[in-house]
Structure 1
């Protein structure tokens, strides 16, 4: 049997599987940010307040967060293919219903349905690709997947703005229908069925764990979202859900460590592995830094340079482009060298580029900030793909669904925390300086210094990541990759 280590080629079956999987997953990734540009339009259309209509986005994110942990259990209970098709169909139903919404309440409800569908599909993207690639090619495949993850948050608002102005708000939901139908038809043919799950068999749902973890994660995400909107952590709408969410999550940890009769949704003992703990932590920090820049940079273009929302969004696109270019290359490199060196290099590039952004003010040309944002994207992309590959090289195959749930939840929480911290920094500087006289640049400089500090933390954590893949890992990976390739050809 020939080893895949050092072989840059991916067989056609695996490439088809990657394409079909990403086609299904891209809808939820785009939808999570695309609708945010239509808040004013929704408020006018349904004659309601912006705070009420904001629940169309918040409800989507909370539903997604609540669903992700349960999806890890459902993989063992129902199988990947059935669950994937269920998630796609549910997302399409939510999209169609959202496009036909008649008031703010109906829109929020239908967006929640969309969020549940995305909560099923999003982690399954990682599960399907990780199983098919095997540990020896995890970096390359996760790098290819990272292109979609990188461009989604950046292109979502831009695409949403274009569709909103040219075809109206309902088109932002109708666009999912043809994409989703094609994704379902291709999935029926390409997505591997996996092991047959007999009716009534499979793991029992950890109901107590679900009642602790899902609302706990949702409460923490809600608190961080509120902190970002209010630019302070002391508001009751932040403190109450944050305390409640932390208490529920602590309760889940205690429950999971004591569980005997049923397998917990997330095995806390996974974090006893240094490689796993370091990988998911660094991945969470990547989400934190990415969304911090995504929040601060467009605001700086609007406030300091007077650009409109669409122009500001387009000027941020190089951030996602840099990440999309770096991820496949860094992922391929990590399959040969391990995660540490690519992550170190990426963290250094991201830190230097963030420091460069702190020197840019109202008098600086946009070309410099565009180049710096592109470099930040390159650096964070060079961190993201190797870290994801390292994560799946450290997990036993049966723990891949749980690992995917951890990654997605930490990315959501990291992104919300990044936005909240930047909002707090901007508010603190804004209270002491007027933007009009140029002193307001201090807030944006503070935000980019925050990203610089996050990059340094990633650099400090890089030695904890797995090093060069060993021979033993390669041998085991070869069998896994061969199994995945045979499934991909089905």
Structure 2
């Protein structure tokens, strides 16, 4: 192993160590809802904002991170995001009522909104185009395990140490990540020019995506689409995002350049990642409901879903490495076929069938989606010009998160409408339809990487998008 390879491994580890906290915190706190309700003598709806406030703040922050990378530098921004997240974690662990906890979780969300897209930016820069698939495979493995391990880790910490340690446990991990990042993350190059912040774009895009996320979360919570709690934020989202489009096309330095979507490879990549979020969270949400309907407890149900995350985590690094050689298109097709077969197999699972069958189907789905995500992200970063990597990362992360919220909302609507037993099978049909669309979209992904590939200049992409 060369010195550069060894340093890259350490750098990947440090970046993922800092990024894993935000990924886990997004899901592990959900298991403490009942405990916090009793602890603070509050309503369940109020406690729900402990998670909702965190996720909405994270979503609002993500778009500005792309601009801030160019303005302040990736390393400085990473260190600042870590400190902000740790400050929010410490304060959350010392919260005295539900209101203070929500406020401190918002601070955590600000830090996570900086860290989450920066994980992709830093990994893409460290890998370079030739190793993009390999490094993104490692990242995809962590992303796959996060939603599965979050509730399990949260349950163990809650039972063993109490709810405050669900936040305080971030402190030793975060400080280790901070000290290692100081040494291992490369210093920022001096900025050649300072792009002004697109304030109007930020006021439209961040709240627009946050409102869309709120509408989807309220759909899942209310299990109905036609409620004011859903329709109001949905209307706000549509108005803000519709207003952003003409603004972005007129602006010299938009927060997110919409001309990127004129590139077939970019549009296909972020679209596939959004659909992957839908597919993953559809299964991730419906399988625990199925196991709980069979009489299993929440922790057991969470453990039975683990094969889904483990399959994705096992397949992602291998698929990512191969995509650097043969491109992502073939691997994504194979993965989408496997995921479709796994979701179709769930249609034949009955309420009295042994748990091994849906768990095995989850493993197949995880393996399939693992062969989709890493090659798709690798293809994105091989075709995206280096100056546009921060913007592309923000778009990728936001659409993937919205896809996850959409998957959960659809599951809630179907289950509430037709009941758990029939709903389980209809959700499986929906999941299979989503993975079938991924299979079709794979044809639009870039093919085999060219030898000695280098990123195209930014002008080539934006000018090509306009033609």
> Shorter-chain-normalised TM-score: which range?
over 0.9
Query: Which residue of structure 1 aligns with residue 390 of structure 2?
Result: 401
Contact 1:330 1:385 in 2 (8 A): yes
Alpha-carbon deviation of 1:194? Answer: 2.3
Gaps of 5+ in 1: 1-6, 431-439, 479-490
Query: Which residue of structure 2 aligns with residue 484 of structure 1?
Result: none
Equivalent of 2:249 in 242, 257, 263: 257
Contact 2:384 2:455 in 1 (8 A): no
Query: Which residue of structure 2 aligns with residue 29 of structure 1?
Result: 23
Moved over 3 A (4+): 7-10
Contact 1:136 1:477 in 2 (8 A): no
Quote the Cα distance in structure 2 between the aligned partners of 1:411 and 1:444. Answer: 23
Query: Which residue of structure 2 aligns with residue 444 of structure 1?
Result: 424
TM-score, normalised to structure 2's length? 0.96
The reply to whether residue 248 of structure 1 matches residue 240 of structure 2 is yes
The reply to whether residue 410 of structure 1 matches residue 399 of structure 2 is yes
Query: Any idea what the Cα deviations from partners look like across 1:120-156, whole Å, max 9, x if unmatched?
Result: 0010000001011111110000001111101001000
Quote the Cα distance in structure 2 between the aligned partners of 1:236 and 1:214. Answer: 21
Query: Any idea what the Cα deviations from partners look like across 1:87-143, whole Å, max 9, x if unmatched?
Result: 000000000000000000000000000000000001000000101111111000000
The reply to whether residue 454 of structure 1 matches residue 434 of structure 2 is yes
Greater RCO between the two (CA within 8 Å, min separation 6)?
1
Query: Which residue of structure 2 aligns with residue 286 of structure 1?
Result: 276
Secondary structure in structure 2 of the residue aligned to 1:54 = helix
The reply to whether residue 424 of structure 1 matches residue 409 of structure 2 is no
Quote the Cα distance in structure 2 between the aligned partners of 1:60 and 1:335. Answer: 35
Equivalent of 1:213 in 195, 205, 208: 205
The count of aligned residue pairs is 457
Contact 1:223 1:237 in 2 (8 A): yes
Query: Which residue of structure 2 aligns with residue 300 of structure 1?
Result: 290
Query: Which residue of structure 1 aligns with residue 459 of structure 2?
Result: none
Measured at CA, do residues 382 and 71 of structure 1 come closer, stay the same or move farther in structure 2, by a change above 3 Å?
Answer: same
The reply to whether residue 75 of structure 1 matches residue 63 of structure 2 is no
**Which piece of structure 1 moves more, 360-369 or 320-329?**
360-369
Query: Which residue of structure 1 aligns with residue 48 of structure 2?
Result: 54
Quote the Cα distance in structure 1 between the aligned partners of 2:393 and 2:287. Answer: 29
Contact 2:93 2:164 in 1 (8 A): yes
Quote the Cα distance in structure 2 between the aligned partners of 1:377 and 1:169. Answer: 30
Measured at CA, do residues 464 and 8 of structure 1 come closer, stay the same or move farther in structure 2, by a change above 3 Å?
Answer: farther
The reply to whether residue 150 of structure 1 matches residue 140 of structure 2 is no
The reply to whether residue 389 of structure 1 matches residue 378 of structure 2 is yes
CA RMSD of aligned residues (A): 1.6
Equivalent of 1:137 in 131, 149, 156: 131
Contact 1:34 1:159 in 2 (8 A): yes
Quote the Cα distance in structure 2 between the aligned partners of 1:401 and 1:243. Answer: 28
The reply to whether residue 15 of structure 1 matches residue 12 of structure 2 is no
Quote the Cα distance in structure 2 between the aligned partners of 1:427 and 1:69. Answer: 34
**Which piece of structure 1 moves more, 440-449 or 75-84?**
440-449
Matches within 5 A, 1:275-354: 275-303=265-293, 305-354=294-343
Alpha-carbon deviation of 1:477? Answer: 5.9
Quote the Cα distance in structure 1 between the aligned partners of 2:89 and 2:443. Answer: 44
